[in-house]
Amino acid sequence: MQIPYEVSPRPDTGLYNAKVGIWLFLASEVMLFGGLFSAYVFLRVGADYPFPHHRLDVTLGCTNTFVLIASSVTVVFAWVSLKLRKWGNFVLFMTITILCAATFMVIKGFEYHAKFTHYAVRLTDGSVLEGHLEDKTIKLGGVEHTLAGDMIGFDQITEITLDPRKYGGSLFKNLVGDGGTGVDGHGDLVSINSKDLENHAEAAEDIGDDAYSNEFDAKFAGADTEKMKEATAAAQKLREKAGPMKQIRVNGVGLDYDLEFVIGEPPASGESKVVVALDGGALAVKIFDPTGQVISDRKEAEMLRKTEVSALKALFGTETPKVPVVSEDNKPELIKKATTAAGLTNVAIAFKSTQVFAYSENEVVLRDGTILKGKLVDDSIHLFPDGVDLRNVEDLDMAAAWDLVGNDSEIKKAFYEERAKNMEIELEKQKTRQAKGIDYKVNTRYTETLFGFHPHHDEAAHPDSKGEGGEGAHGEEGEAGEKGKAHGDHLVIPREQVKFYSNFLPRLNTYYAIYFTLTGLHGLHVVAGAIVLAWFLFTGKKMYDRNPEHLANRVEVGGLFWHFVDLVWIFLFPILYLM
């Protein structure tokens, strides 16, 4: 079928049809990106933490801006070449445009890679160490294994309880793999008596199908508060037996290790505890400080926010069924059978911390509800630091980061030198401002206690350490960086001291969330645009010979989209990299 008005303009609009189409599409694209830009403003204005400022690699971002602008120019010239009927020139300019798009995506890839491999570790006092994970060697199942620096190793596992009610132990089975060869694709499983486990998993699955439907009926028949209370009490008993958890995490947020959780009476003086009380069916939480006093409302609210009450609920009650806790007492009869069916020997497994919901010295609960009983071997985080952020610490000298890095370390010295230098600049600023009659207060807390340095390291062994680093954490880090080089070894951070850690991905904070959303969507546009333009380049000759004006119009429309992609980046670059 012949589509009308693809070359000659339609009389009423004065335009060929494709142009009307692309402009309507671009109008909707403006809405799409507009909504996200507006989300960025909301997140920035509403941020309850110092919003990252000058934290991305400006050189890469700036290079990408030049690359996109260059491609915008060449795509115009590709269109001009067609209008002037010069096929050779069109091929040349279009090829350059597509190469520019590829360059843009490769550079973007480097930037993303730097984010994926760069970690921030928040310690219990709020100080943050940034750096790269170092592989560690731990002995599991009698054999030494080299694992990623944040893995959690469990040995001598004697009992595995799959929870068929929710996810059927799907995560665990995925870890173990189907073949039962002992090592799966993830490299997480170290050694296991596979036959036993296979039988075990199968049995649990069969039983689980029945158990699941019963459970489902019960849940939707109406809440039985009496039963819930019983279950909560049973869960409490189990917890008492197991001792305090070493770590509890919900949605990636770790809870306070210092605090033990009990249900009922407030603790005696000298203990720091969280008390969970059943209060008319709903769970109420009170936090007591070491003197036995209830912590003030404001501080309590603050602590509650930090420690995610939902996690407590999930741990103690059956109110929130997403995270199942199966205890000896509330476990349905059928599941009990599955548990005892196992006769495991010489089982050892290492987990990524993202796979774990909670664990103690002798028990680990996976995110799918699977419970393993065994012996915790190693859960430390091995980190090569390249930055310190003390903006949330009251007393810089007492920051927990220094205990780990070393109080006499070159890093600490360099940090203070840098800080003194910045302070001087700030004071100078204040002086000149006040001379002009402008009210200006030195704000050191916001910027000067964030410090990045180039680690002294074998570059060949750790090419990643250059990527993002503390680059641009502040303008003049060169000198301090040199001094940081005296520091050699990586840190071994005990898990008890880690409140939260993550690579620089959306889960770290809202800035990286919106950064990845905006640049990711923009990157997809670059890829899509490049595919369309490449299509014109490689299949256009036929159309050019038949009706060159038709191809010119197509390229114009494709070019309009391409300019729009460039236009979005013109705003993205300063907003994300420079402001």
Partner 1 sequence: MADSPEAIKKHIKTYLLVGATLFVFTAITVWIAYIDLGTLTRNITVGLLIASFKASLVALIFMHLNHEKGLIYKFLVFTTIFFLSLMVLTLLALSDPMFSESFR
| 88 SS3 class | helix
Q: Is 45 in the site for partner 1 (CB under 8 A)?
A: yes
Choosing from 4, 21, 49, 66, the residue that interacts with partner 1 (CB under 8 A) is 66
Cα 215 to Cα 166, 245, 261, 371: the distances in Å are 9, 27, 28, 19
Q: Is 73 in the site for partner 1 (CB under 8 A)?
A: yes
Choosing from 11, 142, 437, 475, the residue that interacts with partner 1 (CB under 8 A) is 475
Choosing from 5, 6, 7, 69, the residue that interacts with partner 1 (CB under 8 A) is 69
Q: Is 65 in the site for partner 1 (CB under 8 A)?
A: yes
The tokens for 38 are: 């507006």
Q: Which is nearer to partner 1, 69 or 513 (CB)?
A: 69
Choosing from 55, 72, 330, 372, the residue that interacts with partner 1 (CB under 8 A) is 72
Q: Is 3 in the site for partner 1 (CB under 8 A)?
A: no
Q: Smallest gap, in angstroms, from Cβ of residue 373 to partner 1?
A: 49
Q: Which among 388, 438, 440 is positioned nearest to 418, based on CA atoms?
A: 388
Enumerate residues 6+ apart whose C-beta is below 8 A from 135. 146, 147, 148, 149, 382
Q: Which residue, chain included where needed, has tokens 């004065």?
A: 14
Q: Is 563 in the site for partner 1 (CB under 8 A)?
A: yes
User: What are the percentages of helix, strand and coil residues in the chain, rounded to 5?
Assistant: 50, 15, 35
Binding residues for partner 1, rule CB under 8 A, total: 51
Q: Which among 178, 166, 192 is positioned nearest to 365, based on CA atoms?
A: 166
CA-CA distance, 39 to 386, in Å (whole number)?
A: 31
CA-CA distance, 126 to 190, in Å (whole number)?
A: 34
Q: Smallest gap, in angstroms, from Cβ of residue 543 to partner 1?
A: 18
State the alpha helices, DSSP H only, in 47-180: 58-83, 87-117, 170-176
Q: Is 84 in the site for partner 1 (CB under 8 A)?
A: yes
Piece of 25-33, 210-218, 367-375, 540-548 that binds partner 1 (CB under 8 A):
25-33
Q: Smallest gap, in angstroms, from Cβ of residue 571 to partner 1?
A: 5
Q: Which is nearer to partner 1, 212 or 544 (CB)?
A: 544
Q: Smallest gap, in angstroms, from Cβ of residue 303 to partner 1?
A: 25
Q: Smallest gap, in angstroms, from Cβ of residue 91 to partner 1?
A: 18
Choosing from 1, 3, 27, 221, the residue that interacts with partner 1 (CB under 8 A) is 27
Q: Which is nearer to partner 1, 45 or 268 (CB)?
A: 45
Q: How many CB atoms lie within 10 A of CB 281?
A: 12
Q: Which is nearer to partner 1, 194 or 447 (CB)?
A: 447
Q: Smallest gap, in angstroms, from Cβ of residue 93 to partner 1?
A: 11
| H/E stretch holding 247 | strand 247-250
Choosing from 38, 225, 293, 434, the residue that interacts with partner 1 (CB under 8 A) is 38
Q: Which is nearer to partner 1, 65 or 497 (CB)?
A: 65
Q: Is 306 in the site for partner 1 (CB under 8 A)?
A: no
User: Which string of DSSP letters, residue by residue, matches 160-219?
Assistant: EE--TTTTTTHHHHHHH-SS-SS--TTS-EEE--HHHHHHHHHHHHHHHHHHHHHHHHHH
Q: Smallest gap, in angstroms, from Cβ of residue 545 to partner 1?
A: 18
Q: Is 511 in the site for partner 1 (CB under 8 A)?
A: no
Backbone angles phi, psi at 385, to 5 degrees: -75, 145
Q: Is 327 in the site for partner 1 (CB under 8 A)?
A: no
Exposure string for 59-93, b = 16+ CB within 10 A, e = fewer: ebbeebbebbebbbebbbbbbebbeeeeeeebbeb
Q: Which is nearer to partner 1, 16 or 261 (CB)?
A: 16
User: Which string of DSSP letters, residue by residue, matches 547-562?
Assistant: -HHHHHHHHHHHHHHH
Piece of 46-54, 138-146, 167-175, 228-236 that binds partner 1 (CB under 8 A):
46-54
Choosing from 1, 2, 8, 46, the residue that interacts with partner 1 (CB under 8 A) is 46
Backbone angles phi, psi at 12, to 5 degrees: -75, -35
Q: Is 41 in the site for partner 1 (CB under 8 A)?
A: yes
Q: Smallest gap, in angstroms, from Cβ of residue 370 to partner 1?
A: 42
Q: Is 70 in the site for partner 1 (CB under 8 A)?
A: yes
CA-CA distance, 9 to 17, in Å (whole number)?
A: 7
Piece of 54-62, 135-143, 255-263, 456-464 that binds partner 1 (CB under 8 A):
54-62
Choosing from 317, 469, 540, 559, the residue that interacts with partner 1 (CB under 8 A) is 559
Q: Smallest gap, in angstroms, from Cβ of residue 546 to partner 1?
A: 19
Choosing from 316, 512, 515, 564, the residue that interacts with partner 1 (CB under 8 A) is 564
Contact in structure between 431 and 497 (CB atoms under 8 Å):
no
Q: Is 77 in the site for partner 1 (CB under 8 A)?
A: yes
Q: Is 97 in the site for partner 1 (CB under 8 A)?
A: no
**Cα-trace Rg, the chain:** 30
Q: Is 477 in the site for partner 1 (CB under 8 A)?
A: no
Q: Which amino acid is at 574?
A: P
**Quick one: CA dihedral 314, 318, 319, 323, positive or negative?**
positive
Enumerate residues 6+ apart whose C-beta is below 8 A from 90. 78, 81, 82, 540, 544, 555
Q: Which is nearer to partner 1, 32 or 218 (CB)?
A: 32
Segment 411-450, which members bind partner 1 (CB under 8 A)? 429, 433, 438
Q: Is 486 in the site for partner 1 (CB under 8 A)?
A: no
Contact in structure between 323 and 317 (CB atoms under 8 Å):
no
CA-CA distance, 119 to 501, in Å (whole number)?
A: 7
Choosing from 4, 21, 35, 264, the residue that interacts with partner 1 (CB under 8 A) is 35
Q: Which residue, chain included where needed, has tokens 């390291």?
A: 457
Q: Smallest gap, in angstroms, from Cβ of residue 351 to partner 1?
A: 40
CA-CA distance, 78 to 553, in Å (whole number)?
A: 11
Q: Smallest gap, in angstroms, from Cβ of residue 424 to partner 1?
A: 14
Residues that bind partner 1 (CB under 8 A): 13-15, 19-20, 23-24, 27, 30-31, 34-35, 37-38, 41-42, 45-46, 53-54, 58, 62, 65-66, 69-70, 72-73, 76-77, 80, 83-85, 429, 433, 438, 475, 559-560, 563-564, 566-567, 570-571, 573-575, 578-579
